[in-house]
Structure 1
Amino acid sequence: MELAERITVIGSGYVGLTTGACLASLGHTVTCIDLDEPTVAALRAGRSHLAEPGIETLLREGLDANRLQFDTAPDQAVTEATLIMLCLPTPSALDGSVDLTAIRDTVMRIRDLLPAGAVVATKSTTPVGTTATIGSWLQRDDIAVVANPEFLREGHAVYDFLHPTRIVIGTDDNAAAKRVAGLYDAIRTEVIITDPATAELVKYAANCYLATRLSYNNSIAELCEAFDADHRDLAYILAADPRIGGDYLKPGPGWGGPCLPKDVRALARQAQDVDVPFPILDATISSNQHHLDRTIQRLQEELGRELAGTRVALLGLTFKADTDDVRNSPAMHVALALIEHGAHVTAHDPAITDTIPTLSVAPTVHAAVANADALVLLTEWAAYRWVNWTTVATLMTGELVFDTRNALDPAVVADAGLRYVGVGSRRTPMPT
């Protein structure tokens, strides 16, 4: 391995904590910074605030080996660091542009503390030109700035960091590029060194492509319903084409989460700012909103009545399985929309134990479905596949099970005496 670096990671969210814990596991000395004192206290004790598989194991190993530390103030850690990684929030502004306030404020605070020869690397998803902007904020010719975008999936972040499909480094400074590449020397994958603009743009390009694919697939599922075709079979056939593959071909109530909506809006805004028409991306955004709203419409159609007064049980609130993140969750969108329509909603999610304003969260599936007129599965948690549907049928008042993820076995649900409805499912049974 290359010479170990002393790294300061500023920001200890999904990206920052995963980055810090994984780099410590690769032999580097890492200090992670977070402004929230209770979070830092928990991390020092080896407890993660993230529901991320494998993170607490790496956290405890790093602490025990004295390669991983946590603090609420960056000053000392920055003065001792050879490399600083910015893992800070970059939320959307009202116009879709990216708010760089957290990065700007941090850079202004640390710029005079940075030792000569240090490298500042951004892992946060930032608009094209941010690397140069950070350089202008620093006003330090002896500090190199590098774009090093992350490609982590929530629920798989540790695995993705340690087994990446590629590592991207964007800089015009060859020496700095080698320094950052050296961080990952123990990882066997392709390291791609490019210019800052390309490195900044590629994360948006990847996420927006995935969002476009999801919107396209959801529209195909809607066509399947119109033509009485079967989306499960159709997706299987599409996946057999090596040019297409099977990823992102499962239907859903829409795409969401902390990244895709923000990044799609941000790229659309950046295209608008340079007068580049991007009608495909505009259609992706519009299509996703259509499918979010369509879930409510479909439920109402299947029930055959208005939703006001209807008791609806929801399974899943997080934006996807294996995470506790409800930011921009399609499931939460559906839940709140149902409440706005006057429905009585009770939800269950394996990762959600805290109360949510305006929404009743039950501790068990059975408690959620009791006396429900309809059940809607919104997040594809594996545990929901093994629910005792016969028991569910006895607890529910109604019989409708609306599976917006096509995650359940229709035959098992039907055998329990319930009426299964999927997305893109045939209404006419196949002849036997």
Structure 2
Amino acid sequence: MRIAMIGGGYVGLVSGACFAEFGIEVAVVEADRAKLAALQAGRMPIYEPGLESLVASNVAAGRLSFGDDIDAAVAGAEAVFIAVGTPTRRGDGHADLSYVFAAAEQVARALDHYAVIVTKSTVPVGTGRKVAEIVRATRPDLDFDIASNPEFLREGSAIGDFMRPDRVVIGTDSERAREVLRRLYRPLYLIETPIVFTGLETAELIKYAANAFLAMKVTFINEMADLAEAVGADVHDIARGIGLDGRIGRKFLHPGPGFGGSCFPKDTLALVRTAQEHHAPTRLIETVVAVNEARKASMASRIISACGGSVRGKRIAVLGLTFKPETDDMRDAPSLSIVPRLVENGAIVTAYDPEGMEQAKPLLPPSVAYAADALAAARGADALVLITEWNEFRAISPERLRAAMAGDVVVDLRNVWDPVAMRRAGFRYSSIGRP
């Protein structure tokens, strides 16, 4: 079986490599010349654990290829996946579908046989129908079907999520398309992965509903953390106490500085706009968006307060810049709200992140310095702030940290360290939602 993947970004690259691992022949089309050159040279344009070796092994086996020729890529393909970006459109919060629609037109011109055209990108309800209209207008003679196959990949564990998913969602009105996609996902069917076949609009909405619900869980536990602080309770015990209820579940109940990344911020906003357009407003999700933005903005005030009300002239070490560990993704990362505010208030900031510093540099104030490791960032600092919970930070002993720093203030926005151990080491330690 042969497929084409239009877009070699995060979703297209991971999906293409994993399909190739299933034994499928995959041609990935990437228009960005620099990214394409990197892929053809075996260099990954993103950081994702295990991806480089997975790509290399499947390229060597002849199942995975990269190019910019759509005609060659779709030749003989039974399914063509559109996996291009859908960023938030400036000004109104809607998803920008221009890349999706352009790809649909290019695919229509290139195809000379029946194929299923599949939207893998996260797209609002109704996009699949619009893609079908574009294909029909471009090639009235073309025999094709449209399907929606949303991805549920978590950055940092995307390969495992693809190869051992909770479910696969496929939306299409065509039994012929269902049969093509059944064969494509047969390796997952054989390990009893639930495959949900549904309508086009339903599949599109499932993706947004899933991300919105998870974002709502994150926001809920953040608000519970604030209440726990106010009354002297422990948010981790609260999360455990409610998470053991099977109706609620334990995942995504980790307090922090607010959610960021490539999915939750843009998808919650896009869902809100779609709901407003269809006169079915989602008040809960509107509130989640507003509360999360306010939370990220408030974290700098928390740090300034821990430093005695002013950070002017103080050296602040920042550990972790990416929106989560095991990725180099800086999109909507809480650090982008926190660090500039500290700099505006006169702080001298030195930062360290295991993977995200190059991506962070053009996004943060030019005065921010970058260290070679965590202890180097902490050396001589008056205060230290942990924003992203990379595992290597957990391994730093409080005593070594205290010996490196000039001051004694630590603000742990991910609750990585033990409060008792930190205070025994001589720190004025504050965290999220713990007494």
Task: Please indicate the TM-score interval, normalised by the length of the shorter structure.
Answer: over 0.9
From 16, 19, 22, give the equivalent of 2:15: 19
Q: Distance in 1 between matches of 2:154 and 2:98?
A: 24
Q: How many residues align?
A: 422
Q: Distance in 2 between matches of 1:352 and 1:109?
A: 34
Over 6 Å off, 4+ runs: none
From 52, 67, 76, give the equivalent of 2:48: 52
Q: Does 1:285 align with 2:281?
A: no
Residue 67 of structure 1 deviates from its aligned partner by 0.7
Structure 1 residues without counterparts, runs of 5 or longer: 427-432
Q: Distance in 1 between matches of 2:104 and 2:217?
A: 36
Q: Does 1:107 align with 2:104?
A: yes
Q: Distance in 2 between matches of 1:316 and 1:138?
A: 44
Contact 1:292 1:333 in 2 (8 A): yes
Residue 397 of structure 1 deviates from its aligned partner by 1.9
Q: Distance in 2 between matches of 1:177 and 1:408?
A: 49
Q: Which residue of 1 aligns with 2:218?
A: 214
Residue 98 of structure 1 deviates from its aligned partner by 1.1
Residue 424 of structure 1 deviates from its aligned partner by 0.7
Q: Which residue of 1 aligns with 2:121?
A: 124
| Per-residue Cα deviation, 1:7-49 (whole angstroms, up to 9, x for no partner) | 1101111110111101111011111111222322332233322
Residue 175 of structure 1 deviates from its aligned partner by 0.9
Q: Which residue of 1 aligns with 2:402?
A: 393
Contact 1:235 1:249 in 2 (8 A): yes
Q: Does 1:342 align with 2:352?
A: no
Q: Report the residue type matching 2:205 in the other structure.
A: L
Moved more, 71-80 or 280-289: 71-80
Q: Report the residue type matching 1:222 in the other structure.
A: D
Helix, strand or coil for the counterpart of 2:429? strand
Q: Report the residue type matching 1:295 in the other structure.
A: M
| Map 1:29-428 → 2, pairs under 5 A | 29-93=25-89, 94-139=91-136, 140=140, 142-187=143-188, 188=191, 189-354=193-358, 356-357=361-362, 358=366, 359-426=368-435
Contact 1:315 1:348 in 2 (8 A): yes
Q: Distance in 1 between matches of 2:187 and 2:323?
A: 33
Q: Report the residue type matching 2:11 in the other structure.
A: V
Contact 2:321 2:357 in 1 (8 A): no
Q: Distance in 1 between matches of 2:42 and 2:420?
A: 44
Residue 221 of structure 1 deviates from its aligned partner by 0.3
Residue 116 of structure 1 deviates from its aligned partner by 2.1
Q: Report the residue type matching 2:303 in the other structure.
A: L
Question: Cα–Cα, structure 1 residues 144 and 38, in superposed 2: closer, same or farther, change >3 Å?
Answer: same
Q: Report the residue type matching 2:259 in the other structure.
A: W
Q: Distance in 1 between matches of 2:176 and 2:118?
A: 13
Residue 95 of structure 1 deviates from its aligned partner by 0.6
Helix, strand or coil for the counterpart of 1:366? helix
Q: Distance in 1 between matches of 2:68 and 2:303?
A: 47
Moved more, 381-390 or 406-415: 406-415
Q: Distance in 2 between matches of 1:246 and 1:404?
A: 20
| Per-residue Cα deviation, 1:194-252 (whole angstroms, up to 9, x for no partner) | 00000000010000111111111101000011111111222222222222221111111
Contact 2:70 2:110 in 1 (8 A): no
Helix, strand or coil for the counterpart of 1:84? strand
Contact 1:122 1:147 in 2 (8 A): yes
Helix, strand or coil for the counterpart of 2:269? helix
Residue 50 of structure 1 deviates from its aligned partner by 1.9
Q: Distance in 2 between matches of 1:381 and 1:410?
A: 18
| Per-residue Cα deviation, 1:39-97 (whole angstroms, up to 9, x for no partner) | 22332233322211121121111111111110023221123322111110001112111
Q: Distance in 2 between matches of 1:413 and 1:37?
A: 49
Contact 2:82 2:104 in 1 (8 A): no
Helix, strand or coil for the counterpart of 1:168? strand
Q: Distance in 2 between matches of 1:349 and 1:159?
A: 24
Q: Report the residue type matching 2:304 in the other structure.
A: Q
Helix, strand or coil for the counterpart of 1:186? helix
Q: Distance in 1 between matches of 2:314 and 2:5?
A: 49
Contact 2:327 2:356 in 1 (8 A): no
Q: Distance in 2 between matches of 1:174 and 1:333?
A: 48
Q: Distance in 2 between matches of 1:331 and 1:163?
A: 31
TM-score by length of 1: 0.95
Residue 117 of structure 1 deviates from its aligned partner by 1.0
Q: Report the residue type matching 1:186 in the other structure.
A: P
Moved more, 209-218 or 330-339: 330-339
Moved more, 47-56 or 58-67: 47-56
Contact 2:226 2:433 in 1 (8 A): yes
Residue 353 of structure 1 deviates from its aligned partner by 4.5
Q: Distance in 2 between matches of 1:390 and 1:11?
A: 48
Q: Distance in 1 between matches of 2:172 and 2:342?
A: 48
Contact 2:311 2:346 in 1 (8 A): yes
Residue 348 of structure 1 deviates from its aligned partner by 0.6
Q: Report the residue type matching 1:394 in the other structure.
A: A
Helix, strand or coil for the counterpart of 1:287? helix
| Per-residue Cα deviation, 1:104-124 (whole angstroms, up to 9, x for no partner) | 111222212112211111110
Q: Distance in 2 between matches of 1:302 and 1:353?
A: 25
